Structure 1
Amino acid sequence: MTIFTVHSVGTAPEPSREPLDELRRRVGFVPNLAGAIAAAPAAIDAFNQLQRALRDTTLTGAEREVVGVAVSVANRCPYSVAAHSAFAARAGVPPEVIDALRAGKDDVPEEKAAALATFSRALVRSGGLVDRAELAALLGSGYSPAQVLEVITQAAYTVMANWVANVTGTTLDAALADRAWSP
């Protein structure tokens, strides 16, 4: 028996319909994860607003997706690893980088992607109590203090998605099936 409904725009609670429809327009379909979040209007609104705000950071789409994959692997979230892998490919992240991230490897082929992944995994592992050397490594790879905060914001957004997907057992959308992943 499942206790979580995956809503469509038509079945979602009234206050969830506009945020869900906005996601549908932006992505081209209503992802199952968003449909699950839509049961709580405040949650889907927060999810949508945070996603919108992240597009206005100084991090590129590719950098945000590197964080998304790294955090999702650290949280053992099959749904989000698949989603962020697909979005990373669309954002131009090289396949060998995506493969290394999905494998949880420390030796990611691009220096900046490696620094983002290492720091993102440290955030999850430590609950934000990252070692100063881990912070210095991210800063040393060319990221500014403001961008560190943007990485934290992306990680927090991704953790929300991971937790929802893991708790609700959200099934993978057909559009993401070729990126399926298991821990």
Structure 2
Amino acid sequence: MLAPADIYCNVLECPNSGLAAATKGWANRRQDMTAFTIHSIDTAPAGSKDRLAAVKKGWGFIPKLQATLAESPVALKAYDDLFGLIAAEATLTPAEQQVVYQAINVFHGCEYCASGHTFLSRKAGVPEDVIQAIRTLQPITDARLQALRVFAETVAEQRGFAGDAAVDAFLAAGFSKAQVLEVVTIIATKVISNYTNHLTHTPLEDFMNDPALRWEDPKGRTPRRD
């Protein structure tokens, strides 16, 4: 059982904690863990079939993440609705949205999502130096985007208890109070996808194996799938 302190301890800063030990043992236990079905429209529960059909129509294929989430119609709907709502209505630009998505993917050590959002970041017009800075844990030279990235990481790391100074710095960088909450919403979306991938070991899409896209955690938290 984890000690109470472990629950609030950042794994990256507390390598001897029970939580860190559990994380290190993750890769070794993968072979013994329950397999999750990567659903097709035919195999999905009734409550997920229409949603998967819509995903296929929109994306041109069914990503393995959504195919895995389909096991729970609630989880699939929650993720898909949030992702679509952010894309359609957020005041953060598409590039800024991707900075937040990718910052949290990397913070959570999610190989699947960090690889996929490298593609989506380029499609959204995120400069290549910004993409690489996030992927390699380096500062972003663009001060506004760095402020966005730091705020998102701070909120995630502190479980929301980022503090007034973090909010003030974010607002001082030119962002709005509404965008404070948009960052929270993007983080919530990433909790669904990143945690699902960690728990179910979602296989990478074939296109993610392109060396220009595939991300491997510099901190070694993500087990390789090949």
TM interval, shorter chain, is over 0.9
Structure 2: gaps (5+ residues): 1-30, 218-226
- What is aligned with 1:54? 86
Q: Does 1:180 align with 2:214?
A: yes
The alpha-carbon deviation at position 176 of structure 1 amounts to: 2.3
1:156-167 correspondence to structure 2 within 5 Å: 156-167=188-199
For residue 23 of structure 1, give the secondary structure of its aligned residue in structure 2: helix
1:131-180 Cα distance to aligned partner (Å, 9 max, x none): 32221121111110001101110111012100001111111101222211
The alpha-carbon deviation at position 73 of structure 1 amounts to: 0.6
TM-score of the superposition, structure 2-length normalised?
Answer: 0.77
Structure 1 distance, partners of 2:148, 2:52, is 30
- What is aligned with 1:121? 153
Percent of residue pairs identical: 35
1:99 counterpart (125, 132, 142): 132
Q: Where do 4+ consecutive residues of structure 1 move more than 4 Å?
A: none
1:27-57 Cα distance to aligned partner (Å, 9 max, x none): 2211111111001111101111111211211
The alpha-carbon deviation at position 18 of structure 1 amounts to: 1.4
Q: Does 1:14 align with 2:46?
A: yes
Superposition CA RMSD, Å: 1.2
- What is aligned with 1:32? 64
Q: Does 1:81 align with 2:90?
A: no
**What letter is aligned with 2:198?**
N
Structure with the larger helix share: 1
1:153 counterpart (185, 190, 194): 185
The alpha-carbon deviation at position 7 of structure 1 amounts to: 0.8
1:131 counterpart (138, 163, 171): 163
**What letter is aligned with 2:143?**
E
For residue 182 of structure 1, give the secondary structure of its aligned residue in structure 2: coil
Q: Which has the larger radius of gyration?
A: 2
Q: Does 1:72 align with 2:100?
A: no
Check the 8 A contact 1:74/1:104 in 2, yes or no: no
For residue 109 of structure 2, give the secondary structure of its aligned residue in structure 1: coil
TM-score of the superposition, structure 1-length normalised?
Answer: 0.94
Check the 8 A contact 1:71/1:124 in 2, yes or no: yes
Structure 2 distance, partners of 1:87, 1:74, is 18
Structure 2 distance, partners of 1:121, 1:11, is 37
Structure 2 distance, partners of 1:14, 1:104, is 42
